[in-house]
Structure formats: C-alpha cells, structure tokens
Structure 1
Amino acid sequence: MESILEQYKVWLEIQGKSKNTIKTYNIIVKTFLNFIKKYLNLNDIDQFTINTYIDKNLIFRFLADEKINKKLDSNSLRLYIRGIASLLRFLDNENLAKQIKAPKVDKRLPKFITLEEFQRLINAAESYRNRLIIEFLFYTGVRVSELVKIKKDDIIFEEGLVKVLGKGGKERIVPIPKELLNRIKDYIEDLDSNIIFPLSSRQVERIIKRTAIKAGINKKVTPHVLRHSLATTLLSRGIDIRYIQELLGHSSLSITQIYTHVVPNQLKEIYKKVFDS
C-alpha cells in the first residue's frame, strides 16, 4: 500500500498540485485504502486489488461511514470525493471517477472585517513584524500559503509590486501601497532570512487570531478573512471585478463574483444611478 501512496504522491506533484492539496489527498486516500483492506479482509493492497474490487458502491459505503463517524458536512464530502476521484484518475479509471458526484456546496458569504476593525487589528499587533504581516495580507490579498513563501527579491521596490507564486505554480504581480512598501524596506534591512516572513501558515493564523482577540473584534479573523476584506473593500469602492479577480489570482470570475453578495448597499446605489435617474 505504501508504494501506491508514494507513486500517487509523485503523480500529484507532476499534476502541479499544491503541498496542502497533496497532503490532504494523501490522508484521504490512505484512509480509503485502509477501509478497503478492512472491508475486504486483506493483509495488503496493491493496484491490481484496487482495480479489481473498487466500484461505486464501495466508494459510497466508505463516504457514508466517514460522514457518520467524522460528522462531515457537504464541503468536506466534496473534498473526499475529489481526493478519491484523483486516485481513480491516477489508476486510469476515468469512467468511475466521473460516476462519483459531489454534493452541492454549502454556499456561505465570505466573512470580512471593516476598515475600522482593520485599524484596531494593526494597532493591537504585538510586534512590528506582526503588524507588517497583517497589513501585507490585507493590502495585497495574498493567501497565507503565498505570504510565507515571498522572498526579498520578489518585491520590486522601484515599481511598488510583489511577485506572488500562487496555486499550481502560477505567478502574478500584485501592487503594494507606498507606505507599506517603505515599512517593508526598513524591516528587511536587518533581516537575515531571504524569506520575508519565515513562518509556517499555522503560525501566521495564530498571530492573526491572537491579535483579533486582543483588539476586541468579536469575529473569527483569519488570513483568509483579511483576503476577503480586501476584495469586499475594493468592490464597494467601485473597482471592476475583473481587476479583483486578477489581484486575488482567481482562475474563474465566478469565484470572485461571490463578493458581489456582501456589498448590497453599494449595489443598490449603483442601481439607483442607472435606473432611477
């Protein structure tokens, strides 16, 4: 079984999947393969066994058990199904991969903080570095996984831009406000590391959570909430949604369009100008 998992991991890397996706899919697939071993009472499992015994009913039985035992919601089930489908494609079983349908996603509006709450957040930062992390996440809209990989030479100081390596190895260029750019320039002068914020994603998440509590913000604040907050702020100021899509590195405009649901007052004003004038 370990050899299959290792080959599968290499295949995912070749497909250009992110480290987080590879880690998540490997956990799901390993759990699934252990289920097959136990269900079929096998000592070990190989590619021939999987291709011989795996079918839609077995997959659904596994998903049903996981849903009950781990209380999975529809979003988690979708992730499980994507993981198993990718295993099937790795095994050249495209037909079966197409047969397992994911449940509809629980569509929730993105959470965000106001500019006033953002100001309270940076004022509550425990250190200069932590303040820069919060500002960088908000003003650039980068993902936390992108933030912790940004190097000194990724910042083009004379242009006020930063090169960001996003999902699937796709690079994009993001602007940085002048004041933040100057603070970063001062900060990295005495920095030994080539990585600007040499932390793990989890460490950054803890910094944001701790700072939000200290600031008295009664919301769950995460790096992704800061990303949502930038998009919502820009959209409310009338910035074209296509520019926001480019800024956030969204592969599809439909992903970015969810932010149009969190600024209803602004949209009402636009409608008044267009239709009621």
Structure 2
Amino acid sequence: MYSVGNVIKFDLDTSILIKENIKEMKDNMLDNTYYDTLTKRASLYEDKQGNYDYSLFSNVGVTYLYVHQKGKKRGVQTKKEYISIIIDFLIILPSVCKKNDIRELGRYDMENYQMYLEEQYPKKTTRSKKVTILKSFLDWCFEEGYLKKKISRGLIPVKIDKEEIPHRVIDPATVEAAVRYYNKNPKIKSLILLLATTGLRLNEVITPKMKHMSYDPIKSQYYLETITKNKKKRFALIKPYVLREIREYRKRIGLRTEINPDDDTPFYPNKFGKHYNRSYLSTMLSNHMLAAGLVTTDNKRITPHYIRHFFAQSAWHAGASIDDIAETLGHSSTKTPKENYLRTQLKKERDVSRFVDINV
C-alpha cells in the first residue's frame, strides 16, 4: 500500500495513516531508490534563485527527501530513527494541533506540541532527541520553501543536566559471572564477550560478514573489519577466546568456522544463518543479561550499549589514553568519552582530596 514510488501522493489524514500500516510505511521509506526521481520532479519548476518547488509534495514526501538528502552521513539506524520520530509527529498532528498538514501550523502549534511531549515523555533525553530532530526537519522545510513560516521557533531545546544521565558503571565481576552463566550457550556467551572486549555497537557486529575477518601475521592477531556509526572503518581486535566461542556458535547452526575471504555469511548470524535485526537482538540480549544478573553497580537494568561504556571504562582503568579510546570507538573527539563513558571515573580521579590529610 505504501510504495515509496508514490510517497508524494500521501495525504496525511487519519483515513490514510491506518495504524496497522504505519510500520510498513516507515520500513518502505528507508528505501532511497526514489530520491533522485523525486528530486528531479521538484526541480522541474526551479526558480531563478535555484530553489526547487515542493508545493505538490505531501508531508511524507518531504520527510522522505529530508531523511535521504545528499551530503548527510546518516546510517540506516539514524534514518530509521528520523523517519519514526517525524512520522509519529505527523500522525499526532490532528489530535494535538487540530491540523493535518505542517504547512497549516504556526509557532503556537509547535509550543503546544512540545507541551504534549512533556506530558508523554518524562525523560529529558527522549524529549531532547525528538525536539532536535523535529527542529532540524522543520528548519530544512523552511529553508527549502516548503514552509512559509519558521515554526521551529516554537520548539525549545531540551537542556539535559549531565547529572541526570545514568552513570552506567558495571562491575567487571558481574560481566565475568554473566559469561560463566552462559558457559553452555555460545550464542549469548560469544556476544557478551565480543561487546565487552571490543566496545562495538550491535550494528557494527551484525553488519560484517565472515569474509571481513582476517589474521594479521605480523601482530599475530585476528581483526574484524566493520564500519562505525560515523562511517569510519574500524579493525576491531578479536581475542582468540572470543573467536573460539563465535566459531562454536557458528558450528552449532551449521556454518563454516574457518576464516575465508569468500565467505558471505554474517560474522554473527541468527539461527537461520542470516543477519540479525538490530532491535530484535538488542531486546533479546537485554533480557539475557538481566537473567544472568548483569546489571549496573546501582542495580539498574542495562542494554547492550552499556557494555560499550564498560569497555571504555575498563580500557581507561588499564591505562589506555582517552584519545585512543575515542579513536577506537569511532568518535572524532574525546568529548563523548569524557562526558558520557568516563564521567564518573574522571570526577573521582580529579578529586583533590587525596592531597589533603590530617595527622592524628
């Protein structure tokens, strides 16, 4: 029903955005095949200033063009997130703002929408992400002439107090205990070990194929070539004991275990030998970690991304520099490791109490 080729024909009213078809539409919108065709259509009535004419495009049509616009380094997961947030915004318009088209909205409507977000999403981090993406989308629509008013002014950036962000500290002993808990389950054991010893994101684990594994005879080490969130190439060091568990898992589901440059099977496959869906794997692993008692030091449930924090913290405590940690994790600066991964550790390290003593 929601062919991307017809995406500009969508009218955003409740009779078309039927609940059960929304997921299908979001999935279809990830296909960027039609970007050039739709852009060419917009260029047919280009004005003397080089502005395209988007007046015939629906809200969904311009969402598609915004998400896939050239010059933006957006991975599949980022695009999926953008599509989900913007489409959810478009769906809720009739009930929150009593309007069906973003071209009918005013600044006051966006202020009301932000109040709606505050009621629906207590967590500032969630609201911040939604507001940031929506402001960017609406600004683009205004710059391209699709919107005649800069309604994004009605959205106020959500300030997040760094102290409100969970510390995400995990005791190494609980990681080791979880690994032992799954000693007879190489699928989960290998995944926990892989994330904990490399700091890879789940998407960086499920995307590579077995042919992207290689052995470096000079270093006598195994490496997995993968692409980070920022489109950087990374050669992740795979420890022998981690590779052993991955090979055992592959063996149990009937896949080859030796390194072969022609092996197109996923490096970390599902039970059918195919690439995992990231969301499914994330939920599954979160549940398995909870079952094994793998939680934070303040007994909070963790997600696979917390293991990335564990990796950074473990590397830092072992003597790795923050520059090298940032480089390994694919960050362009040390800001993210300092503010997110190592915030608690650095606060303790910089506490000068150790210089002051009282002799009694």
TM over 0.5: yes
Residues 209 and 76 (structure 1), Cα distance of their counterparts in 2 relative to 1, 3 Å cut: closer
| Residue among 231, 240, 253 paired with 1:178 | 240
In the alignment, which residue of structure 2 is the partner of 1:139?
A: 197
> Quick check: 1:154 aligned with 2:212?
yes
- Give the number of the structure whose alpha-carbon radius of gyration is greater: 2
For 2:109 and 2:139, locate their aligned partners in 1 and report how far apart those are by CA, in whole Å: 17
> Is the 1:232–1:262 contact (alpha carbons within 8 Å) kept by the matching residues of 2?
no
Question: How far did residue 37 of structure 1 move?
Answer: 4.1
* Larger CA deviation: 114-123 vs 168-177: 168-177
Residues 175 and 264 (structure 1), Cα distance of their counterparts in 2 relative to 1, 3 Å cut: same
Question: How far did residue 81 of structure 1 move?
Answer: 1.1
Question: How far did residue 254 of structure 1 move?
Answer: 0.9
For 1:221 and 1:109, locate their aligned partners in 2 and report how far apart those are by CA, in whole Å: 10
For 1:127 and 1:29, locate their aligned partners in 2 and report how far apart those are by CA, in whole Å: 40
How do 1:86-165 residues align onto structure 2 when only pairs under 5 Å count?
86-93=136-143, 97=152, 100-107=155-162, 108-125=165-182, 127-158=185-216, 159-165=221-227
> Quick check: 1:57 aligned with 2:115?
no
Matched AA of 1:4:
N
For 1:89 and 1:63, locate their aligned partners in 2 and report how far apart those are by CA, in whole Å: 16
Of Structure 1 and Structure 2, which has the larger fraction of its residues in helix? 1
Residues 40 and 265 (structure 1), Cα distance of their counterparts in 2 relative to 1, 3 Å cut: closer
In the alignment, which residue of structure 1 is the partner of 2:67?
A: 12
Identity fraction in percent: 19
Question: How far did residue 229 of structure 1 move?
Answer: 0.5
For the residue of structure 1 that corresponds to 2:308, the secondary structure is: helix
Question: How far did residue 83 of structure 1 move?
Answer: 2.2
Question: 5+ unaligned residues in a row in structure 2: which ranges?
Answer: 1-10, 13-57, 145-149, 257-263, 270-275, 356-360
> Quick check: 1:238 aligned with 2:319?
yes
For 1:223 and 1:36, locate their aligned partners in 2 and report how far apart those are by CA, in whole Å: 34
> Is the 2:110–2:151 contact (alpha carbons within 8 Å) kept by the matching residues of 1?
no
For the residue of structure 1 that corresponds to 2:173, the secondary structure is: helix
For 1:241 and 1:37, locate their aligned partners in 2 and report how far apart those are by CA, in whole Å: 48
> Is the 1:147–1:197 contact (alpha carbons within 8 Å) kept by the matching residues of 2?
yes
Matched AA of 1:202:
S
How do 1:65-84 residues align onto structure 2 when only pairs under 5 Å count?
65-68=116-119, 70-84=120-134
In the alignment, which residue of structure 1 is the partner of 2:293?
A: 216
Provide the TM-score with structure 1 as the length reference.
0.80
For the residue of structure 1 that corresponds to 2:236, the secondary structure is: strand
Question: How far did residue 96 of structure 1 move?
Answer: 5.3
> Is the 1:152–1:195 contact (alpha carbons within 8 Å) kept by the matching residues of 2?
yes
Residues 4 and 208 (structure 1), Cα distance of their counterparts in 2 relative to 1, 3 Å cut: same
For the residue of structure 1 that corresponds to 2:307, the secondary structure is: helix
For the residue of structure 1 that corresponds to 2:342, the secondary structure is: helix
| Count, aligned residues | 266
Question: How far did residue 128 of structure 1 move?
Answer: 0.9
Matched AA of 1:79:
K
For 1:191 and 1:75, locate their aligned partners in 2 and report how far apart those are by CA, in whole Å: 41
Question: 5+ unaligned residues in a row in structure 1: which ranges?
Answer: none
In the alignment, which residue of structure 1 is the partner of 2:280?
A: 203
* Larger CA deviation: 173-182 vs 116-125: 173-182
